[in-house]
Amino acid sequence: MKARLKRLLRRLVHASVLERIAISVASLLAAIVVGGVLVFVSGAYASCQSGLNVAGFTFCYNPMQVFYELFFGAIGHPLEGDWALRNYNLAETLAQTTLLIFTGLSFAVAFRAGLFNIGTQGQLIMGSLATAVTVLYASVIVPSGFIGTVVLIPLGLLAGAVAGGLYGAIPGALKAYADANEVITTIMLNFVAGGVAATLLAWQFQDPESTNQQTESIPAYAEIPNVPFLGFSSRWNFSLLALAFAIFCMIGVAWMLSRTAFGYELRTSGVQPEAAAYSGVDEKRMIVGAMTLSGALGGIGGSLWVLMVQGEWITSVPDLGFDGIAVSILAGNSPLGIGASAFLFGLLDSGSQSISTATDVPPELVGILSGLIILFVAMPEFFRMIGGRYVDFEDVQPVQTDGGEPVNAGGEDDA
């Protein structure tokens, strides 16, 4: 039995790209079947005026309608006659996708270095606050109009990257020089970030004309603009330029990891830290550098949340950093795969709102459906990610010093 499990795990770890896609599609279909049964059965315990009567029971929820709204409602109901490509629902989906690309990349970069950065949420909070404050103060001296747009948007992104990077460097330094577990420190720093940001807001940056806990709104010309004639309405808080920037960064991170010396050292440190140290890689510098880059990507995600979606900084920052962990795991921590994974999460988020609008299904059940889909689709990649190190280690056979036959280190028969 143990040998069979090992062979199954090894087969999963070494699956090709097409096989992994097929597994993900099959997992999605399985989640839809299980979720459909759950929705249908839950409808028997709900109260409604009309429904499907079966054996004396009235089932109030239609699984087909629920999944239609979940997937097609998220892109604006394309099967209906008046559908337009540039619609509000699709804009919401792509906006969420854009933000999740950065938080997914944040976790993926750290993981490829052998680190678990659970603190992307805190780095996003610090980056978003730094962006809002920097843009507000700089807008006083920067001219408005086109010049203001060209200056303030890159400045805001830089401020977010620097703040997020510095905040990510803290757990990196603690790991490198004090051997502090990065999982514990990053989780704690998430809470610290929320508290520090709220304190700074109340002390210095609170909008005096608002009763909400928020900064003043950034100028309209400092928000990321739309593409003329091709973009979505400016009222929908999404810009194709931001999505294009996210895709560019996604490709850039993939190129960096596979084509640069820094990326090679980062990946080697994550897979074989002893071999990396033997080849001359500075382990401490690499840990701090990887966490700094990871935090910078999370900070840029916070910048886009301010510059594209919110328009000011508020204390109720969405949990994009935590969602980014699942996005990265679903993509197998591949930078290029994170785009598709982020789109799925954006689809589920926007589709959940569509379900709440078009049906009587309670939001708690909608949340269960979304979680079920994520669980089914992500678990094969999760086991592949964890099993990769185990299988690779098991496959390594020590040899005799005189070049003889490999030694069976485990001392067990797999048969």
Q: What is the pLDDT of residues 36-57, one digit of tens each?
A: 999 998 988 887 766 777 666 7
Verdict on whether the full-model pTM lies above 0.85: yes
Q: Would you place residue 386 in the very low, low, confident or very high pLDDT band (cuts 50, 70, 90)?
A: low
Q: In 24-177, where do the E strands start and end? A: 52-54, 57-59
SS3 219: coil
The amino acid that residue 178 corresponds to is: A
Instruction: Give the per-residue pLDDT at 56.
Output: 66
Q: Are 224 and 241 in contact (CB under 8 A)?
A: yes
* Radius of gyration over every alpha carbon of the chain, rounded to an integer in angstroms: 24
Encode pLDDT of 151-186 as tens digits.
Answer: 999 999 999 999 999 999 999 999 999 999 999 999
CATH 1.10.3470 domain locations along the chain: 88-343
**Contact of 201 with 315, CB cutoff 8 Å:** yes
Q: What does the alpha-carbon distance between residue 172 and residue 166 come to, in Å, rounded to a whole number? A: 10
Which of the following CATH numbers is that of domain 88-343: 2.60.40, 2.40.50, 1.10.3470, 2.60.120?
A: 1.10.3470
* Calpha distance 185→279 (Å, rounded): 29
CA-CA distance, 179 to 142, in Å (whole number)?
A: 45
d(CA 224, CA 148): 11
Q: Which amino acid is at 394?
A: E
Question: Does the pLDDT of residue 407 top 70, yes or no?
Answer: no
Dump pLDDT digits (tens) for 191-250.
Answer: 999 999 999 999 999 999 999 999 999 999 999 998 877 778 878 889 999 999 999 999
Percent of the residues in the chain that have a pLDDT greater than 70, as a whole number: 90
The owner of tokens 């699942």 is 326
Q: Which residues contact 174 (CB under 8 A, 6 or more apart)?
A: 180, 182, 185
Q: For residue 231, what is the DSSP state?
A: S
State pLDDT tens for residues 324-342: 999 998 898 999 999 999 9
Q: Distance (Å, rounded) from C-alpha 332 to C-alpha 377?
A: 11
Q: In this predicted structure, what is the pLDDT of residue 411?
A: 46
Chain position carrying tokens 């003329």: 228
